[in-house]
Amino acid sequence: MLIKAKMVLKKKLICRGTGLVMLVLLSFVLLPPLLYADQCPQPRKTKKAPEQFLKMTNPLSLEPENIIAGKILFERKAKPLPCMQCHGLSGTGDGPMAFGLTPPPRNFTCAQTIKDVPDGQLFWIIRNGSSGTGMPAFKKLEDEEIWQLILYLRKLSLTRLVHWKN
C-alpha cells in the first residue's frame, strides 16, 4: 500500500515537474513574439545616412520580378544571413534570431515607422549596417539586389495597410 502510494506521489511530482518545464519552455517560444512583434509605431533611433545617400531614389520599378527577387533575397539568399532570421518571414521583426536584440529589428509591416524613411536611408543601412545594433552590413549585395530588397520591404508595409482598411 505504502509503496503504491509513494509511487503515485512520485508520478504526480514528475507530472508537475514536466508541467513546469513545459511552461518555461513554452514561455520562451511565446514571449519573444509577444514582446517584439507588431510594435507599431516602433521607436526609431537609427543614425541618419549621409546627404548623398538620402538623395537617392529606387531606380527599379514595382515589377513583380523585382519584388520576387527581393523576397527571395529576404527569405533565403542574402549573405551572411537572410533578413528573415531577424526581421521575421512576414517582416514584423520577430525572426528566430530577434530575441534579445536591443534595439529590436525593424518591423517593416508598420507603415507609420517606415513610410517616411527615405529609400537612400534604407540603402545605406543595408549596405553598411546600423552600428551599435544587431543590424549587420551586407557588403556583398549588388546595388540592384539592395534596391530589390527595398521594393520588397515597402511592399510589406503596403500589405499591412490593405489589411487595416479591410
Closest CA to 121 of 53, 75, 25, 26: 53
CB of 87: closest distance to ligand HEC in angstroms? Answer: 6
Neighbour tally for 119: CB within 10 Å = 20
Among 53, 66, 69, 78, binds ligand HEC (CB under 6 A): 78
Distance CA(150)–CA(40), nearest Å, equals 19
The set of cell numbers assigned to 142 is 549588388
Determine, following the binding rule CB under 6 A, whether residue 130 of this chain makes contact with ligand HEC: yes
Cβ proximity to ligand HEC: between 33 and 136 the closer is 136
Closest CA to 121 of 101, 109, 135: 135
Of the listed pieces 9-17, 24-32, 75-83, 157-165, which binds ligand HEC according to CB under 6 A? 75-83
Instruction: Determine contact, residues 86/74, Cβ cutoff 8 Å.
Output: no
Determine, following the binding rule CB under 6 A, whether residue 133 of this chain makes contact with ligand HEC: yes
Among 69, 111, 149, 156, binds ligand HEC (CB under 6 A): 149
At residue 93, what is the residue type? G
Torsion-angle region of residue 56: left (phi > 0), alpha (psi -120 to 50) or beta? beta
Of the listed pieces 1-9, 12-20, 78-86, 157-165, which binds ligand HEC according to CB under 6 A? 78-86
CB of 65: closest distance to ligand HEC in angstroms? Answer: 18
The contact set with ligand HEC (CB under 6 A) reads 44, 46, 78, 81, 83, 85-87, 97, 101, 103, 105-106, 117, 121-122, 125-126, 130, 133-136, 138, 149
